[in-house]
Amino acid sequence: MGNESFSGRLSAGDTTVLPLKTDEDVVRLRKQVRDDLVALGFSLIEQTKMVTAASELARNTLRYGGGGEAQIKRRQDSERTGIELRFTDQGPGIANLELAMTDGYTSGGGLGLGLSGAKRLADDFHIDTEPGKGTTVKIAKWKHF
């Protein structure tokens, strides 16, 4: 797994790691995700869905996790190609995941669409969280050949 620059194109298996410490980092992440989706031939609608999900999860990483990192990885198998995003923080974790996944729930005055919205916008969604041990959220978008 090689690190690519912010403007680098991903080859299958390569991973780009981006810090999520400031709002500017979220802007860089959005641009990188869009650039990678364009390079993979995703439609504008699919790009918008994934960039929106990435933005929501990156902001959650900043707001609730105290910052962390995002990893962008191109995935490919015999039937499909795609992009996988992983958001990791070492924050307080999510005490009640079921409640946090409820549409409209917010613990910080936002719209309450972060986790549940990201899940709807992505093809795959997985969250690993434990109080006191941080949170990792993984999403993916797939394009079938």
In a domain, 41, yes or no: yes
In a domain, 76, yes or no: yes
In a domain, 7, yes or no: no
The token pair at 34 is: 């869009």
All residue ranges of the chain with pLDDT < 50 are: 1-8
In a domain, 123, yes or no: yes
Phi and psi, residue 118, nearest 5°: -60, -40
In a domain, 11, yes or no: no
- Average pLDDT over the chain reads 87
- pLDDT tens string 95-108: 889 888 887 766 66
In a domain, 13, yes or no: no
In a domain, 1, yes or no: no
Tally of domains in the chain: 1
Enclosing domain of residue 111: 21-144
- The predicted structure's pLDDT at residue 107: 65
Give dist(CA 74, CA 16) in Å, integer.
9
What is the domain-level CATH number for residue 31? 3.30.565.10
- The predicted structure's pLDDT at residue 17: 96
- The predicted structure's pLDDT at residue 81: 94
Give dist(CA 54, CA 16) in Å, integer.
14
- pTM equals 0.87
Q: 72: helix, coil or strand?
A: strand
